[in-house]
Structure 1
Amino acid sequence: MTEATTTDLREIPFQTADGGSATLSDYAGQVLLVVNVASKCGLTPQYEQLEQLQRAYADRGFTVLGFPCNQFMGQEPGSIDEILEYCSTTWGVTFPVFDKVKVNGGRAAPLYKALKRTRDAEGKKGPVRWNFEKFVIAPEGAIHRFRPNVKPDDPAVVGVIEASLPR
């Protein structure tokens, strides 16, 4: 879980795919799964599991938020329009996919700068290790971090989502 306050986190703006602005507050009361995604990565098939979670829990107050990232070996090289088309036609993605972000380094998106203060299951915080790193944010503020090799449908991820859903 994180030392960052989710009140601050929820007010950090980020850019939508159409050039607008959004914050996590736009999803108030929902369980969120924030994930940096890429179309040309060995982990790209995780899109299928992310969409399965979206479909399974959306009507119970859950949404996946996808943030394309090209920082890891150039595995998300396309334009945002190409990325959206790929996600829709290849994986049937219905969850929101936002504009491309950097997740590490001095030019990292402010949302990711805050999320990286969250510790994973081993108690480690810091840089995002690769594409498909996952952060589950509960409505009451708890944040859980899952590294890229933990699949979206892993019992640990699903357990946190189910335990955090609005009653």
Structure 2
Amino acid sequence: MLLSLGIGSQIGILEGMLCTVFDIEILKRVSKQYITAVVCVICFLVGIIFTTGAGEYWLSMFDSFAGTIGLVVVALLEMIAVIYVYGHEKFTKDIYEMTGVKPGIYWQITWRYLAPSIMVVILGSSIVSMVIDHPKYQAWSKEEVSGERVM
């Protein structure tokens, strides 16, 4: 069951990535099978990093950096692009055209002020946390692996 769940998740992730790649104008003339094969090989080669002896270290680094700073920056830039560059009036109109319901004042305030403010606070606190507590890998930390805490 776990194998089935893992394969299903990978197919979903790959499909989401490939839809974006297929929409690139330059690649529309290339066969979808070749694009899929190249993307799968690239993902496989990146995944080999995690199977080496230092794989746990790399996983820890990816988890601590990609899940905090990178993710928050992408979310903040998406909010800025949609609400301030594209315009919240156009965005509200698009939602009305797609759903038939105009978003209320709560959503307007959330999109324009609340969500970007929260993202800035999360980004700032993540940066401050990384500056105060230097990231370290527990398996290489002498303090963590001393005495009776040896694995």
TM-score norm. by structure 2 comes to 0.26
Q: Which has the larger radius of gyration?
A: 2
The structure showing larger relative contact order (alpha-carbon pairs under 8 Å, at least 6 residues apart) is 1
Q: Which has the higher strand share?
A: 1
TM-score norm. by structure 1 comes to 0.24
